[in-house]
């Protein structure tokens, strides 16, 4: 079992074509313990690594596609992180799951 952290940030829509649009997002996060198969499935839902090329290190996280709420115009960005409370011996499973999900080769 591996603990992962889900982070979600919601950014308000820009007002009247602001040129220097840099909003402060509202964030939340929570942890969840998953098995290896579930981790691979989650990684397929979060296909964009935080760096290029990704190497599968525990400090790399995965991002999902940004989603816009068409009613409010707010943007939501979600990411999947390796939780630091995992024992050091579990770090190898993060890389193996990235390989199995096709994120790294």
Domain extents for the chain?
A: 2-14+25-101
Provide mean pLDDT across the span 58-80: 93
pLDDT tens for 1-20 read 999 999 999 988 777 665 66
pLDDT tens for 50-66 read 999 999 999 999 999 99
pTM: 0.86
**Sign of the CA dihedral with 42 first, then 45, 50, and 55 last:** positive
Percentage of the chain beyond pLDDT 70 is 93
Which long-range contacts does 27-30 make (Cβ < 8 Å, 24+ apart)?
A: 29/5, 30/5, 30/6
pLDDT given at position 1: 93
């Amino acid at each position: 079992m591996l603990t992962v952290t889900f982070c979600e940030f919601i950014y308000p829509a820009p007002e009247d074509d602001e040129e220097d649009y840099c909003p402060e997002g509202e964030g939340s996060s929570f942890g969840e313990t998953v098995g290896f198969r579930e981790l691979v499935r989650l990684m397929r839902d979060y296909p964009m690594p935080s760096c290029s090329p990704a190497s599968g290190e525990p400090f790399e996280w995965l991002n999902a596609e940004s989603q816009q709420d068409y009613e409010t115009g707010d943007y939501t960005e979600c990411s999947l992180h390796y939780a630091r409370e995992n024992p050091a011996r579990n770090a190898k499973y993060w890389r193996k799951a990235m390989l199995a999900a096709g994120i790294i080769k």
